[in-house]
Amino acid sequence: MAKAPLVQKYRFVTGRFASFTVFTAAILALLLASSSFAQAHRHYTAPHFSAIVIDAQSGQVLTEHDADQATYPASLTKMMTLYLVFEALEQGRITLDDSFTVSAHAARQAPSKIDLEPGERVAVRDLILGLITKSANDAAVTVAENLAGSEPAFADLMTQKAHALGMTNTVFRNASGLPNPAQHTTARDVAKLALALWRDFPKEYAFFATQEFTYNNNTYETHNHLMEEFAGMDGIKTGYIRAAGFNLAASAVRNGRRLIGVIMGGNSAVGRDRQMAQLLEASFAGNTMSEDALRAAAYDDTFGNPDNATPAMAGLNPVSRAEAATPGQSDPRRNPLRPAANPAWSIQVGAFANFAAAQGAGVTALSRLPASQDKTALVLPPAHSDKQPVYRARVVGFTEAEAMKACRILHHAMTGKQKLCAVIPPQPASQAAYQLQLQLSPAAGSPATPVSQPAATDNPPADAPGNSEDD
């Protein structure tokens, strides 16, 4: 007679011995899981700072700091998700107007998300825009499941493509970048991916310049605020989870030359943006930055104080590339604005290459504010530290609370690049501009030239601290 399987021989064991056996098995499983987790974390148990800048045309590495250090990609993962979507578009397997079905698994994803519902049908175009602007995790999983049948199968395709692109130190385990101990990459590999996106999909790459996206009557703004603040920047992606820190892949072009920069493990969104701005600025100028200088850039107060801005920070203004509607007269003496009773706190609404554009931005912002009788638009003249003259647009005459409220109002009232606004505490430059205004036209005052200021730090979502995307 055949022997019964071993599992049947012991299935009726009861009592203390059975309890001990189950308990022992549970402990062993926990130890094995802990060992695997520790193994996966052996290279990056805490956020580790790394950076690289490459020349897109030549592929030359211009500067690097620990660029091969393993780390978590966070939502930079979505760059590969988008690569596979763009590839499917170019191969004719899908179109932008095709609709993908949202699964319950996709809808359950942690924020950031665009609140897709199970069974909902979403156009590929909207999923792409949701990935790029809101960094939507539900959109990422929807794309993965519809292209590959399941998210794990799609992640395998992501890893295969990564290795085909020369990203030899990258492994993907999901399509979103939400925490997974086995998912890792390096700054160098992310730079290779950014380069491949620009090189292989010149048409689709333009999606990365999208600044806002409306879906189901909700408008989502890009997390990549540096794209508004650094002249020449046109993409690509931010990322954050607690274990990774603040990541950023960025691309900027000046005088026909494109650079790609990657920073991993920044200590804050605004600090990371400061570092990227100085890193790219130095690289465009043919200079390199030491790691100590790059780390110090994250704490550089001039980023939040345009009156003392270094040349690298001069471009870090919310609407630095905007050309606002200009009034009929561009001469400040011919088109005076009423002086403020007291400059006090101010708001900064733009930085421009010419006075007229700055003046127009200030006038437009002022016209959108209720109870603005005691407020004045100023144009601050270019600072000595400006590599190129920059006219900065401010509205002055606020208390701190009023300035914060004014920025909230402008954020909702304005569109595009005009939506950005920064609160600025009392500063000597505002006082000087105000006095100059009085001297130019004692009766009515003339505008000086406003500057714009970097947007306030954008923190990870409070509803899922440490694990949510994005900054």
- Rounded to an integer, what distance in angstroms lies between the CA atom of residue 284 and that of residue 295? 19
Q: Residue 310 half-sphere exposure, CB side, CA atoms within 13 Å? A: 13
- Amino acid letter, residue 58: S
Q: How confident is the model at residue 381 (pLDDT cuts 50, 70, 90)?
A: confident
Q: Which of 28-32, 136-140, 393-397, 403-407 comes out lowest in average pLDDT? A: 28-32
Of the two residues 103 and 313, the one the predictor is more confident about is 103
Domains and CATH numbers, the chain: 50-299 (3.40.710.10), 307-455 (no CATH)
pTM above 0.75, yes or no: no
Task: Please state the φ and ψ torsions of residue 320, each to the nearest 5 degrees.
Answer: -60, -25
pLDDT score of 4 more than 80: no
Of the two residues 305 and 63, the one the predictor is more confident about is 63
Give me the residues paired with residue 263 across strands.
Answer: 51, 248
Q: What is the mean pLDDT of the chain?
A: 75
Structure tokens at 134: 């809101």
- Residues with a catalytic annotation lie at 75, 78, 135
Which H helix or E strand runs over 187?
Answer: helix 187-200
**Beta carbons of 216 and 138 less than 8 angstroms apart:** no
The closest of 87, 238, 205, 235 to 154, measured between CA atoms, is 87
pLDDT of amino acid 354: 82
Give me the residues paired with residue 205 across strands.
Answer: none
Per-residue pLDDT of 404-446, as tens digits, reads 788 878 776 665 444 567 777 776 555 555 555 544 433 333 3
The closest of 252, 301, 307, 242 to 279, measured between CA atoms, is 252
Strand 50-55 and strand 257-266: the pairing is: antiparallel
Q: How confident is the model at residue 38 (pLDDT cuts 50, 70, 90)?
A: very low
Buried/exposed code over 90-105 (b: 16+ C-beta within 10 A; e: otherwise): eeeebeeebebebbee
Peptide bond into 236 cis (omega under 30): yes
Per-residue pLDDT of 210-261, as tens digits, reads 888 899 999 998 888 787 778 888 888 999 999 999 999 999 999 899 999 9
pLDDT score of 208 more than 50: yes
- Rounded to an integer, what distance in angstroms lies between the CA atom of residue 113 and that of residue 140? 9
pLDDT score of 341 more than 50: no
pLDDT of amino acid 444: 34
Q: Is 66 left (phi over 0), alpha (psi -120 to 50) or beta?
A: left
Give me the residues paired with residue 239 across strands.
Answer: 247
- Rounded to an integer, what distance in angstroms lies between the CA atom of residue 269 and that of residue 298? 9
**Beta carbons of 112 and 469 less than 8 angstroms apart:** yes
